[in-house]
Amino acid sequence: MKRLHTLQTRPALAALAAALSLSACSLSPKVTPPAVYDLGPAPATTGAGGALGWRIADVAAPPWLADEGIAYRLAYQQAQRQEHYRDSLWAAPPAALLTQRLREQLANVSACPGVPAGLLAVNLDEFEQVFSQPGSSVAVLRVHATLWPAGGAPALQRHWRVERPAAPDAAGAVRAMSLAVDDWLPQLGAWLTSGCAAR
């Protein structure tokens, strides 16, 4: 009789174990995937587009800008420490996003007529949100560009620092950084075309 009772209880125990397993799964915390951002649509331009007037090297960046983290710095608290938002990421490392934007936008910049294409190299030096105090921040884009003209002429170089006010969160950092990039690109284009006279 005891043997029969044991056989009868096994299906019930199995059903109870399955129910407990399903219950445990439903009670476990759900992991929210991070929000992923890029620089958004490129601004409209009046140029006709076409072949690039310059050969554009991939944008170079230091190791601390080599991943997809959205960086910020609490300058009022510990200016030497760079932090990253936990639940938000760039879609690619900042240098890759900037390379793509450069190649999109410089196709609409007039090249130097009759002059072979030079090589443009851009270094990304700073790409982060900086808090001067709690709730007050700016997105900081700092770059320098070097243009090596074809034919062995001396290289030209220029540095830029662009700041835009940012809301104090990851989405605000992204919006402000996108504006900073799109404000800087026309300045780069103007510098490139002004270099035509020097060549």
What pLDDT, on a 0 to 100 scale, did the predictor assign at position 2? 45
Which of 102, 152, 131, 123 is closest to 59 using CA atoms?
Answer: 123
What pLDDT, on a 0 to 100 scale, did the predictor assign at position 10? 57
Angstrom distance (rounded) from CA 47 to CA 197: 21
What pLDDT, on a 0 to 100 scale, did the predictor assign at position 82? 94
**Which pTM was predicted?**
0.79
What pLDDT, on a 0 to 100 scale, did the predictor assign at position 50? 53
Q: Which CATH class is domain 36-198?
A: alpha beta
What pLDDT, on a 0 to 100 scale, did the predictor assign at position 7? 42
* Residues 6+ positions from 163 with CB-CB distance below 8 Å: 138, 139, 140, 141, 180
Cβ-based burial of 86 (10 A; exposed 0-12, middle 13-18, buried ≥19):
exposed
* Residues 6+ positions from 9 with CB-CB distance below 8 Å: none
Which of 150, 148, 158 is closest to 191 using CA atoms?
Answer: 158
Which of 103, 113, 118, 107 is closest to 156 using CA atoms?
Answer: 118
pLDDT tens for the chain, residues 1 to 199: 444 444 455 555 555 555 545 444 445 567 788 899 999 988 876 555 555 678 899 999 999 999 999 999 999 999 999 999 999 999 999 999 999 999 988 876 766 777 777 899 999 999 999 999 999 999 999 999 999 987 777 899 999 999 999 999 999 999 999 999 999 999 999 998 886 655 5
